[in-house]
Amino acid sequence: TSLNSNVDNKIDSKVKSYIISSANYQLLKEKVREINAVPSHELAIINALAVDLNQSQLAQLQQALDVKVSHNYSVELTGGKAWGKRKWQPKSTVPKYIEADSAHAARNFGDGITIGFLDTGLDQLQGTSSGLGLSTDLYGRDKFWGTYDAINNTVSNYSNEDSGHGTHVASIAGNADYDVYGNVYGVAPNAALVGIKAFDAEGKATYADVIRGIDWALQVKEQINLRVLNMSFGGQQRSYYWDDPLNQAVMKAWQAGIVVVASAGNKGPEPMTIGVPGNVPYIITVGAMTDNYTESDLSDDKVATFSAAGPTPAGFVKPEIVAPGGHLAGLMAYNTQIVSEHPEYHDGGLYFEMSGTSQAAAVVSGVAALMLMQEPTLTPDEVKCRLMDSAHAAMTSEGKLAYSVFQQGSGVVNAKDALQSTATDCANQALNIEQDLSGTQHFYGPANIDDKGNFYV
């Protein structure tokens, strides 16, 4: 018996990090105090606490209160497929490719809209020639709101970024620097930027840090006009979308009026490879396509082989849209983790070429900022509807879809057509986010599987 009790004691003393939610948030906090546990994170956005507990503490809590228990899982960034060619200050190709240059010609640069980047932080890098970049817009005005560090729960006006990923992603959406031909790099170069740092230098984060970052975004939303939240990361799906605590926080952000743009992930091209939070049906999930290094020849463009594909376990079509995500030039300091691992893709100055659905998501976040500058009253559902309505699907010469809807969604994002679209009621119509979050009703999408194992809508 003494041997058995030793084993029990060992099991019981093993502490794990959990995310625990309850309908009664205040009572949850009291009960956690009563079992002598101290939460690492208060996640009011989903009525939850992140807390380290042993088995007996967990059992006590479950007896005292009706709680929902989830492990504090980890998530990873979806950049990091560093394919590029080393060349000095590469050309700007994205704004022209997606026809954002037509918005720029009409003086729409995303002014006044703040995009939040839930990532590894942001460096306030200035571009090479113009002195413009991530901290100032095309008119030289300050557009950097600083960084909220969700890991340490602190806010700073300056920035430090060990990874490089967050800065690279942000610069695709909002870099106000010009290339040597006088073309601006960023899709929305005057959009204001805020960093929400939840990922470490290795590109890893816990659910609790990411959820705390989303919670902070909701708190400052009105104050800094944070209208778009870019999530270039993914975790493994372990449940239906509605049961995942990170997804619940993402749904709260969408419900609060923030356009959430997530990367599909880089685990493609097989079906059902979309990660969390890309599997949330409400938000805009973005896959990657590439121009194959021939920017003016559209005939060889293709969906990137790494781009993750749907459907989701709940039967939703994902991604909704694809965007350029192959060898995109972005700002990255030479002393960051990614450059130290892949110096061959850095130009020795400030530009680094990188591929991934992380980069593709940032392109769409930039387009959303242009849409919101033109029409500030658009809801997230309306932004999603118009992006999908105006996307350009890849077709074969016979007029059939070149890729399944589970690979390309509605097609490649097009800023010009998105800004001209007047479509309404074409996204999330069959869903009810309030019922979903309250747990009264959950939803399934239109995807099915035939007897040969092929997915169809």
The SS3 of residue 59 is helix
DSSP 52: E
Q: Is 179 a catalytic residue?
A: no
First to last CA, the chain: 59
Choice among 41, 104, 165, 327 that is catalytic = 165
Q: Is 327 a catalytic residue?
A: no
C-alpha closest to that of 338 among 355, 323, 325: 355
How far apart (Å, rounded) are the C-alpha atoms in residues 154 and 193?
17
Note whether 241 and 280 are within 8 A (CB).
yes
CA angle 150, 308, 456 (to 5 degrees): 130
Choice among 101, 104, 111, 119 that is catalytic = 119
Note whether 382 and 372 are within 8 A (CB).
no
Q: Is 358 a catalytic residue?
A: yes
Buried b / exposed e over 181-205, threshold 16 CB at 10 Å, is: eeebbbbbbbbbbbbbbbbbbebbb
C-alpha closest to that of 115 among 235, 242, 231, 275: 231
C-alpha dihedral sign at 206, 209, 213, 214 = positive
- Backbone φ, ψ for residue 375 (5° rounding): -140, 85
- Backbone φ, ψ for residue 63 (5° rounding): -75, -35
Choice among 163, 263, 358, 390 that is catalytic = 358
Report, as residue numbers or ranges, the catalytic residues. 119, 165, 358
